[in-house]
Amino acid sequence: MKTTTKLWIGIGVLILFSPLGLILPERFKAGDAWGEWGADAFKELVGYIPKGLEKLSILWSAPIPDYAFKGWEEKGLAGLSFAYIASAIIGILVVACIIFLIGKFLTKKD
């Protein structure tokens, strides 16, 4: 089997196990990464919401925010894990397509 095939299988395994990145923080009661809180969190953290931060934080609404489907909040960890895996697949498909397009423009056949 070609090495690249084996590495793609490796990526597939990582995708399947990716919900660990969701479940372990939940299990160990770990919150957001430092410096990645929502604007509202600042009321509690420093007593006020920084004005510029509040304005800019709603600038972009991503189609799949935080690798979760909108309206699935009540489906619990199983639903979140499913959405996480689906997000990983979608994300990697898009990433790979962009790289292959870039590769078409940037490399010569030899």
Give contact residues for another protein (rule: CB under 8 A).
3-4, 6-8, 10-11, 14-15, 17-18, 20-22, 24-25, 27-36, 39, 42, 45-46, 48, 50-57, 59-67, 84, 87-88, 90-92, 94-96, 98-100, 102-103, 106-110
Residue 75 C-beta: closest distance to another protein, Å: 18
Q: How far apart are CA 11 and CA 83, in angstroms?
A: 17
DSSP state of 37: -
Q: How far apart are CA 77 and CA 79, in angstroms?
A: 5
DSSP state of 72: -
Residue 28 C-beta: closest distance to another protein, Å: 4
